[in-house]
Amino acid sequence: MSEFTEHDVDVDGLRIRAVVGGRGTPLLLMHGYPQSHLMWRHVLPRLAERYTVVATDLRGYGDSDKPAPDEANTVYAKRALAADQVGVMRALGFDRFDVVAHDRGARVAQRLVLDHPGVVGRLAVLDVVPTRHVLRHLDLAVATAYYHWFFTATGGGIPEHFIGLDPESWIRATIERLLAPGTHIEPQVMAEYVRCFSDPATIAASCADYRAGATTDLVDDDTSAAAGERIGWPTLVLWGEQSIVGKAYRPLEVWREYADDVRGTALPAGHFLPEEVPDLVVAQVLGFLA
């Protein structure tokens, strides 16, 4: 990604790492767990041919700042992370932009479009259904497949302790079990994900992220639903045929409970679409944004 430049953007005293490249309409990319902006490495150059692409490390991940979690679970609430991203884009000169987001980043994106109406033109979410739907429609199969949601949300320092004992094993197991058979992450990229999670502050932040998802975020999402707040912008939903989302849900039907204009399709992949089938992701995203 030599054609991209790195920026440490100050947002209300918090440093958010971003890479920026290309020209044209601004496009924000947000990564999922347990990764960083590097997960977009295969799609960034192609998207940058038509768009000014900004790929960030979410608060607590990659090389962005990692403030200490709080007991009220607000520091890593999606509302706070969404505000970070709006702040980054404004600091770079963009008041309105499109968004493509994966996994945890897509949950941040959902809150962003609700809290900051008019900022996002088009939204693409990759291999995710809303947190509220997951937690309000749990069964044994989903709870087992998403065991890391509930382990990382456990309090008392339990997940932080055990992940910290062997972060490399945790990262490898978490990623590899969600890949489609026959696919892999390049060794040097996996090593970078491990590097980031070798920092205890990243482990603490990511656990706080999931803890917020089961508490503060759920309250915010229930409040939005009760108020009739919906995503009123065109929304593209992509998911992996072999992912948990693809097997456990009807993603388009679920998202239509939360958004007005939804379209999308399954792709022949597991969970990590931009790393497993980047060409298909680029084709879908470019067609949607056009």
Q: What is the pLDDT of residues 16-43, one digit of tens each?
A: 999 999 999 999 999 999 999 999 999 9
Give tens-digit pLDDT for 185-237. 999 999 999 999 999 999 999 999 999 999 999 999 999 999 999 999 999 99
Distances (CA, A) of 249 to 48, 103, 241, 275: 32, 15, 11, 22
**Annotation marks residue 271 as catalytic:** yes
- Detail the DSSP E strand segments found in 144-267: 235-240, 262-267
pLDDT top residue among 3 and 52: 52
Candidates 37, 102, 148, 271; catalytic one: 271
Parallel, antiparallel, or unpaired: how do β-strands 25-30 and 51-56 relate? Answer: parallel
In this prediction, residues 3-11 reach a mean pLDDT of 95
User: CA 111, CA 27: separation in Å to the nearest integer?
Assistant: 17
Domains of the chain: total = 1
pLDDT at site 3: 84
Candidates 103, 127, 209, 221; catalytic one: 103
- Smallest CA-to-CA distance from 113 within 102, 103, 124 is with 124
pLDDT at site 181: 94
Mean pLDDT of the chain: 97
Contact status, residue 43 vs residue 85, Cβ threshold 8 Å = no
User: CA 119, CA 113: separation in Å to the nearest integer?
Assistant: 7
Q: Which residues contact 93 (CB under 8 A, 6 or more apart)?
A: none
In this prediction, residues 237-245 reach a mean pLDDT of 97
Range(s) of the domain holding residue 148? 5-289
**Annotation marks residue 115 as catalytic:** no
Parallel, antiparallel, or unpaired: how do β-strands 235-240 and 25-30 relate? Answer: unpaired
At residue 1, does pLDDT exceed 90? no
CATH number where 89 lies: 3.40.50.1820
Give tens-digit pLDDT for 65-119. 999 999 999 999 999 999 999 999 999 999 999 999 999 999 999 999 999 999 9
Distances (CA, A) of 25 to 22, 99, 173, 200: 9, 11, 37, 37
